[in-house]
Amino acid sequence: MSKKKTKKLKVNPELEGLNVHVNEFGEIVTSYNAEEINKFLDKTLYDKKIKNQDAKTGSLKEKHKKQDEGE
C-alpha cells in the first residue's frame, strides 16, 4: 500500500498556527478566537457589498474595482 503524502499548505504568516476542525458534536473548534479571525479578514479582504469601503491595501482596491464597475 502507498503512503499518503501530506502537502504543507500555504498560510498567511499572521495565521500561522490556526487550527480548525469539527468535533464529534458538529461544533467548529478553532485555535484562534472569532474576534482575531474577523480582524484579520477585515484587514485583508475587500467586501464588494460595501461600495464606499476603503481597502487597506491598494492591490485589493484595484483588484475589485473592475468587479464593482461591472455590476
9 is a domain residue: no
Total-model pTM = 0.50
CA distance linking residue 59 with residue 31, whole number of Å? 29
- Here the cell at position 30 is 478553532
12 is a domain residue: no
Residues of the domain holding 65: 19-70
Closest CA to 46 of 32, 69, 70, 62: 62
What is the pLDDT, as a whole number, of residue 45? 82
10 is a domain residue: no
The total of structural domains in the chain comes to 1
- DSSP H or E segment with residue 66: helix 58-70
pLDDT, mean of each 10-residue run, the chain (71 residues):
73 84 93 88 80 56 55 48
Amino acid at 27: E
CA distance linking residue 44 with residue 60, whole number of Å? 8
